[in-house]
Amino acid sequence: MSIRPFRDIIRKKTKVIKVGKVCIGGDNPISVQSMTNSLTKDIKSTIKQVQDISKAGADIVRISCPDEESSKALKEIVKHCDIPLVADIHFHYKRAIEAAENGAACLRINPGNIGDKNKIREVIKSASYNNCSIRIGVNAGSLEKDILEKYKEPCPEALVESALRNIKIIEDLNFDNLKISVKSSDVFLSIKSYKLLSQKTDYPLHLGITEAGSFIPGSIKSAIGLGSLLMEGIGDTIRVSLSDDPVQEVKIGNEILKSIGLRKRGVKIISCPSCARQGFEVIETVKILEERLSHIQEPITLSIIGCVVNGPGEAAFTDIGITGGGRESNMLYLNGVQTEKLGNKDIISKVVDLVEKKAEEIQNKDK
């Protein structure tokens, strides 16, 4: 089958660290993260949410630990989750120590708001002893007072100065198992900050547009911000921040990576917006197929085009293709070759069957 050409993205080579079983940086795949929004101390609900996020295709899940009950709940949560968990810590250094001791694979902290160097030293000691990495999380909304006074407002230089300051605090304690983020809710501020930081450090970068908003605007802002950086080779792990179900964050994150050729996981559907020429109900068909094929993890391409204007051309570049012809004359393509005609009522069942068989073939080949 022909492969559609796309721009080669040359990623910046960063230091490799491990978050549990997931390697971050270097030539390793860019990981997708999300964060639970359940009360962490509600262990049953949090476990279910972590499992749902993982099933949707996340590589890492972050959990907030605002109090002792939450950080200690991690000990039970990690027993039921086969995915690295990052403990989100603010202000209280003991929560970080408890999280590391109770199974967190990474601590998300800002050393500047943890306290004096003795407290930071205790956190680093616990992280090192428990093989726990650290993410330094700089946010435009919570910059150090002196940095904000110096620059008068959040700007790329301010965010990067905060990041480098916090890196030095931890490096001075002989710890370098780090990744860094410099997030803002402003797309342009985020892009410029990450570009500047990328020039000044080789630590892996965690990308995100923080507090991006609800599903549609948040997804668009994240796609623009993260996509722009990723296409420049910047970024080793990403999180799409939405005021929505965390599962949606994972889906959008994976779609961003798939759309620019940086991830080949799951079914990639190419579909038309539909018009009066369509031979079958394209929009409804695609919605059903997305749901029915959401469990597939193997990289498979599928084109669902309503008519013959672009259908055959798109089918030439996909594993499985459907071109609308109307009622009983829709055409099925396998690897760009016409194979048979399908009636409208047979499209979904036929495509699902073919995709599942293709996934099984890939699984067997990889064994």
pLDDT in the model for residue 325:
87
CA distances from 99 to 67, 87, 89, 171 (A): 10, 6, 9, 21
Which pTM was predicted?
0.89
Q: Name residues whose C-beta falls within 8 Å of residue 216's C-beta, 6 or more positions apart in sequence.
A: none
Residue type, 339: T
How far CA 23 is from CA of 48, 60, 138, 198, in Å, comes to 24, 11, 22, 19
Give me the pLDDT at residue 364, please. 85
Q: What φ, ψ does residue 166 adopt, rounded to 5°?
A: -70, -35
Condensed to tens digits (0 to 9), the pLDDT of residues 264-284 reads 888 999 999 999 999 999 999
CA distance linking residue 317 with residue 312, whole number of Å: 9
Give the single-character DSSP code of 186.
S
The per-residue pLDDT for 112 is: 67
Q: pLDDT band at 1, cuts 50/70/90?
A: very low
Least Cα distance to 268 among 283, 258, 280 occurs for 258
pLDDT, tens only, 291-326 = 999 889 899 999 999 999 888 999 999 999 999 987
In 3D, which of 201, 237, 171, 167 has the Cα closest to residue 19? 237
How confident is the model over 9-54, as pLDDT tens digits? 889 999 999 999 999 999 999 999 999 999 999 999 999 999 999 9
212 token code pair: 């991006």
Please check whether residue 71 is in contact with residue 99, taking contact to mean a CB–CB distance below 8 angstroms: yes
Confirm if 236 and 14 have CB atoms less than 8 A apart.
yes
Q: Which domains does the chain have, with CATH numbers?
A: 17-259 (3.20.20.20), 267-366 (3.30.413.10)
Predicted local confidence at residue 181, as pLDDT: 96
Q: Whose CA is closest to 59, among 218, 239, 227?
A: 239
Place of tokens 């998300």: 108
Q: What is the DSSP string of 277-336?
A: T-SS-HHHHHHHHHHHTTT--S-EEEEEESSTTTHHHHHTTSSEEEE--STT-EEEEETT
- Mean pLDDT is lowest, of 66-75, 108-117, 157-166, for 108-117
